[in-house]
Amino acid sequence: MALIIRGGKVVTMDARQEILAEADIVINDDLIVGIYPKANVPPEYQAGQVLDAQGLIVLPGFCNAHSHVAMTMLRGMADDLPLKDWLEKRIWPAEEHLSREDVYWGALLGMTEMIRSGITSMADMYFYAEEVARASKEIGIRALIGRGIFNKIWDKSLAESLALYDAWQNQGEGRISVALAPHAPYSCTPNYLEKVAMLAADLKLPVHIHLAETRYEVEECQREYGLTPVALLDKVGILDYPVLAAHCVHLSPHDIDILARRRVLVAHNPISNAKLGSGIAPLKAL
Ligand SMILES: [Zn+2]
């Protein structure tokens, strides 16, 4: 039976960016079959379940393009530190004490907050990622989930990424999908990034990574490899596949050209960038 969302102001996000002052949306078998201005719903759908949206705005769900949703539990820890100290001195040591169950409840809490804010999709990267997947399935959010991959725990994090793929790809009525999530160019060496690229090709999976987040990262990368983090990813083949790159704060004009040419999706993370004093992403240029 059809579901009718009745009488709301509808932000269609169609090619013409049309906004309808008052319209009915008809959903059948999980698909929008039509949007009918002023109660002109065809008779075959009339008998459906009705949600009254008068006085409300109806629009597509928001997407949180980069999260570590279970970290909701660590909110407010370790303010006023640069990324390197925040991660190495405070966050990573604290995360060593988190159990599988902690990650499940933290994820569920974070997702509840997202849904309350109108977020219906998220892209997440964390450990015990199958617990994040389990929480996503239960709460009904759409999720792209990756197990963070690091040099230091390469074998373990890679094995867990593959196990995540085996168990969770297309689960939750197709809402859950899996990404490969090499943490960053500073926590995965180029030869490991190259292996991730090959795996992305084999499994046809997207890659979710932190990129050019701090000036320090860019300087270190240039010192060690003679390339910016963006150019390094391009060189090792990661950008041959669909990539979701978080932060992208410190980019050269050449980096921006590469990102555009390779059609990399950039996740803008202004709150995180402000909290850690990482800088302001060049949104206009992007
Ligand atoms: Zn992140």
Confidence (pLDDT) at 236: 96
DSSP 3-state of 189: coil
206: Cβ contacts below 8 Å, ≥ 6 apart: 144, 179, 180, 200, 241, 242, 243, 244
> How many Å apart are CA 131 and CA 160, to the nearest integer?
12
pLDDT band at 40 (very low <50, low <70, confident <90, very high): confident
pLDDT in tens, 109-128: 999 999 999 999 999 999 99
Tell me which CATH homologous superfamily contains domain 3-58: Urease, subunit C, domain 1 (2.30.40.10)
The pLDDT of residue 46 is above 90? no
Residue 5 Cα to ligand 1 middle (Å): 36
> How many Å apart are CA 255 and CA 248, to the nearest integer?
10
Q: Dihedral angle at the C-alpha atoms of 188, 189, 193, 199, nearest 10 degrees?
A: -80
What does the pLDDT average to over 264-283? 95
> How many Å apart are CA 156 and CA 161, to the nearest integer?
9
Residue 247: Cβ within 10 Å count:
27
Confidence (pLDDT) at 283: 96
The pLDDT of residue 3 is above 80? yes
Residue 51 Cα to ligand 1 middle (Å): 37
Confidence (pLDDT) at 82: 87
Residue 246 Cα to ligand 1 middle (Å): 7
Residue 123 Cα to ligand 1 middle (Å): 10
Residue 257 Cα to ligand 1 middle (Å): 23
pLDDT in tens, 123-158: 999 999 999 999 999 999 999 999 999 999 999 999
What does the pLDDT average to over 261-276? 95
The pLDDT of residue 47 is above 80? no
The pLDDT of residue 102 is above 80? yes
Half-sphere exposure of 31 (CA within 13 A, CB side): 2
pLDDT > 70: percent of the chain: 100
Residue 285 Cα to ligand 1 middle (Å): 22
The pLDDT of residue 76 is above 90? no
Residue 220 Cα to ligand 1 middle (Å): 19
Q: Do 62-275 and 3-58 have the same topology in CATH?
A: no
Q: Does domain 62-275 have CATH number 2.40.50.100?
A: no
Confidence (pLDDT) at 224: 97
Lowest mean pLDDT across 50-54, 90-94, 165-169, 244-248: 90-94
The pLDDT of residue 222 is above 90? yes
How high does pLDDT run on average in the chain? 95
What does the pLDDT average to over 77-100? 89
Q: Where are the domains of the chain?
A: 3-58, 62-275
The pLDDT of residue 22 is above 90? yes
Residue 68 Cα to ligand 1 middle (Å): 6
Residue 138 Cα to ligand 1 middle (Å): 23
